[in-house]
Amino acid sequence: MTFVLDSSALFSMEDLPSDDIAVPPGVVDELRRYNDPRVERWGDLLRVSECTERSVSKVKDAAMRSGDAGRLSDVDVSVIALAVDLNGIVLTDDFSIQNVCKIMGIEYRSVATEGIKKVEKWNYKCNGCGKWFKEKQNDCPICGSSMKAHRKR
Ligand SMILES: [Zn+2]
């Protein structure tokens, strides 16, 4: 059984399920962008795999029909497309991704239903000005520096 994980699933998990885990490169990039400590810990366990353009178009068509297109990032689309290519199960807590999976007949599960221990909360600290944020930010909204993920205690 192959699970394909989206960023929301990966960000919320304390441990990985003991199955084959595949992710598109974009998902790993997101973890790296936050200097997430789990990248080091999980690096060897994640199978990073590119999806085919053919599957990307199929997913975009389905998202257009369902009205989810505007709510899906390119990375989200590549997660679903990779599940098509690998015949995998999408692991996500994102409702738009789940909806497109449903329409396309792709099996999906939420992180909670898999019984995976979730991380309580993560906070994000700017590497430049040192300000803390509750929500995930691509770059610091104040000074534009990169962010680092910290587990809330
Ligand atoms: Zn800053």
- Ordered by where they begin, the domains of the chain are 2-114 (3.40.50.1010), 122-151 (2.20.28)
Distance 15 CA to ligand 1 centre (A): 29
The whole-angstrom separation of Cα 79 and Cα 76 is 5
Residues making up the chain, counted from first to last = 153
Least confident window among 10-19, 46-55, 65-74, 140-149: 10-19
- Calculate what percentage of the chain has a pLDDT beyond 90: 48
Q: In angstroms, what is the span from residue 37 Cα to ligand 1's centroid? A: 19
Predicted TM-score (pTM) of this structure: 0.77
Ligand 1 center–CA 123 separation, angstroms: 14
* Ligand 1 geometric centre to CA of 127 (Å): 7
Distance from C-alpha of 47 to C-alpha of 152, rounded to nearest angstrom: 28
- pLDDT band, residue 118 (cuts 50/70/90): low
pLDDT 10s digits, 4-58: 999 888 888 877 877 899 999 999 888 888 888 888 888 788 899 999 999 999 9
Distance from Cα 153 to the centre of ligand 1, integer Å? 22
